[in-house]
Amino acid sequence: MTHFREGFVDVNGVKLYYRVAGEGAPMKLIGLHGGPGGSCDYLSPLLQLSERVGVEVLLYDQFGCGRSSDPPSDSCYTVEYAVEEVEGVRRALYRDEKIFLLGHSYGGLLAIAYALKYQRNLRGLIVSSGLSSVPLTVKEMRRLINEMPERTRRVIEKYEATGEFTHPEYLKAVDEFYRKHLLRLPEMPLDVAKTMEYLQKRRVYSIMNGPNEFTITGTIRDWDQTSRLGEIKVPTLITVGRYDEVTPTVAEVIHRGIPNSTLKVFDNSSHTAMWEEREKYLNTILDFITHVG
C-alpha cells in the first residue's frame, strides 16, 4: 500500500479532506473523484503514481462528499462552484505551480470545466471516463439499457414510469447494468465500497445527479460544453473503457473537440479501469505525464 499523508484544507469556508503521496516531487497531480458525491477513496490506485515517477499525487473529497464539510448553502451545488473549489485547492496547496489535473467520471466533466476557465494553471489534462455533455451521455446510457436483456429493460422502464426508484426489483435491474458497465469485477474492492457508502450517505448525488447513473434529474442535467472543447489547448489524455457506461462514443467526441489530445481505450474495462486494468491504466497515465513533463 502506498504511504500517504492525510489532512484538511479550508477552501471557501468548506473543510476539505485530502490525502497526498510523494510530497515534494517536482510535478503535481490533483485527482478529482466522480459522483457527483463520491469520495477520493476509490481513486487510491492513483497514489501509486508517486512511487513510479517524480509526481506528487493529491486526492480530495469535494464539498459535501466523504469526510469534507457541506457548502454554505444548497445554491452551491453547481459545477461552477466546484470549479472554484478546485482552483482554491490548487492555490492553497500549490500556490502558483502548474499541475496535472485528472478527473474521473463526473470528475472528468469537472476537469473540463476547470480547463475552460483556468487552463493557464495546467501542465496537462486527463479526462478518465469523463464527459463534455450530460445529455449525450444519458442518450448513450439509454442505448446501453436497450441492449440489456428484455426483462431487465422492461423492469427499468416500468419503475421509471412510476417514479419508484427504490423498489427492490428496480434496484436489482440497475445493479445488473452496473455490473456490466460500471465495474466488471467479481468482487467490489474495499475502497470502491467505501466511496459507494459515502455517496449514499451524503446529499450531493441526489441534488446534482439524481436517483442513479442514467436518470439524471439534478443540477448537472443540462450541462454541455462540447462546443467549447476547442478552447482547451493544453496536452490532454482521454481514457475510456470498452464497456464504459460513459461510452467510447462520448470519449471520441471529447477527443475530436480538443486539438492536442490522445485517446486510449481499455478493452477489458467498463467505468473503472484503474481497478479493472490497473497496470495498463497507471502505465498510460505515467507515459502521458512523462511525455508532457
Percent of the chain with pLDDT over 90: 95
Helix (H) / strand (E) containing 104: strand 99-104
Q: Which of 244, 261, 269, 270 is catalytic?
A: 244
| Catalytic choice (104, 181, 255, 271) | 271
**Residues 183/270, Cβ–Cβ less than 8 Å:** yes
pLDDT surpasses 80 at 156: yes
Model pLDDT for residues 200-210, shown as the tens digit of each residue: 999 999 999 99
Task: Flag whether pLDDT at 126 surpasses 80.
Answer: yes
Q: Check residue 36 and give its pLDDT.
A: 97
pLDDT of residue 52: 87
105 counts as catalytic? yes
Domains, the chain, in order of start with CATH, read 5-134+190-292 (3.40.50.1820)
List the catalytic residue out of 44, 50, 105, 261.
Answer: 105
DSSP E strands in the chain: the ranges are 5-11, 14-21, 27-32, 55-60, 99-104, 122-128, 236-241, 261-266
Which three cell numbers, joined as nine digits, stand for 162?
412510476
What mean pLDDT value characterizes the chain? 97
CA distances to 96, 201, 205 from 66, in Å:
27, 9, 12
Confidence of residue 1 (pLDDT cuts 50, 70, 90): confident
Answer yes or no: pTM beyond 0.85.
Answer: yes
pLDDT of residue 139: 98
